Structure 1
Amino acid sequence: MRMAGNFDEKSGIVPCITPWGQWYQTMEEVTLEVNVPEGTTSKEIKVDFKPKHLTCRVRAGEIKGELFERVLVDDCLWSLEDRKKVQIMLVKSRRSADNCWPSLFVDQYKADPLTFDDMEKKMTLERFQKENPGFDFSGADITGSYSGGGPQWKD
């Protein structure tokens, strides 16, 4: 079940640019967009999902590594778009605003500090939208340095 669909359309994405394309995330999913040679066919693509590992092979190229966190393998999928881009959707096993991945793989494809801050802000707005479905948070902004998926209260 995709709860974040309308939110994504209104708020856009916060991409982490990589040599092979980009990745971005919501509270529930991590999406990779892998640029492949134009004319690539689905028979030339092999994607292997494991709870903590991902491998994507296209012709002679490969992206693989240990995922930052676990995913629900049975819910993950990939598609070939316009024979030039592979889109891979990973479904997070822990779906909450405080589970913002700082990198796609452990020690690989890390978001820079500003991008990561923007990712956390977006996921918090997504959480607010989910908790308050009648309100429109698409124009909302969270200002200042941000970390942890929400305000931290101290007693």
Structure 2
Amino acid sequence: MSSSDAPTDVENKAAAAKEAAEQATLPYKWTQTIQEVDISVPVPPGTRARDLVVDIKSTSIKVGLKGQEPIMERVTTDECTWSLEDQKSVSIQLEKVNKMEWWEHVLTHHPKIDTTKITPENSNLSDLDGETRAMVEKMMYDQRQKEMGKPTSDEQKKADMLKKFQEQHPEMDFSNVKMT
């Protein structure tokens, strides 16, 4: 994208204002981290838990008042908890199935947000599961190596394999070998 194709500050502000206005019309408020989504669904003051229909399953969630259309419905979640806050709102915490992606919306038929504008919260490596942590640590190591002009872990592994092969086969000429 050339610099002339990049959105201007005015365009960015207009897009952010439009997104905020669309989100303000939803019958709930929501925020997210990379791992979970928090939803607050307002209900009439004085609502008791027994007045609610909150149906949480491994593949769907539905929130509403008994005898009325659901306020919201959502499909595909792993773990979910809810609570009634001060008899004014239902607070829902959804654990994302894919913990490596941002949601554009809570309900697929509602307006999307621009996930490219999300600034993730700071996190610690200790917050990550083992596999994700190992991947992030490798990426960080490789980045530091590149900045110092040194080989990445994959490049070093190839060089080590070539060196071992050369030692095992001294009769072969490796002078024209190029690593890619």
TM-score, reference length from structure 1 = 0.57
Partner of residue 3, structure 1: none
Q: Distance in 2 between matches of 1:83 and 1:65?
A: 20
Question: Greater strand share, 1 or 2?
Answer: 1
Structure 1: which 5+ residue stretches go unaligned?
Answer: 1-14, 134-155
Q: Offset at 1:50?
A: 2.9
Secondary structure of the residue aligned to 2:53 is strand
TM-score, reference length from structure 2 = 0.50
Q: Distance in 2 between matches of 1:36 and 1:66?
A: 18
Secondary structure of the residue aligned to 1:121 is coil
Which has more radius of gyration?
A: 2
Question: Greater helix share, 1 or 2?
Answer: 2
Partner of residue 165, structure 2: none
RMSD across aligned positions (CA): 2.4
Partner of residue 86, structure 2: 82
Partner of residue 19, structure 1: 26
Identify if the C-alpha distance between structure 1 residues 21 and 31 changes in structure 2 by more than 3 Å, giving closer, same or farther: same
- Larger relative contact order, structure 1 or 2 (CA cutoff 8 Å, min sep 6): 1
- Percent of aligned pairs sharing the same letter: 26
Partner of residue 101, structure 1: 103
Q: Does 1:117 align with 2:116?
A: yes
Q: Offset at 1:18?
A: 4.1
Secondary structure of the residue aligned to 2:70 is strand
Partner of residue 15, structure 2: none
Q: Deviations over 1:112-143 (max 9, x none)?
A: 33xx334x322xx44xx23388xxxxxxxxxx
Q: Distance in 2 between matches of 1:18 and 1:88?
A: 19
**Length, aligned pairs only:** 105
CA contact (8 A) 2:63 2:73 kept: no
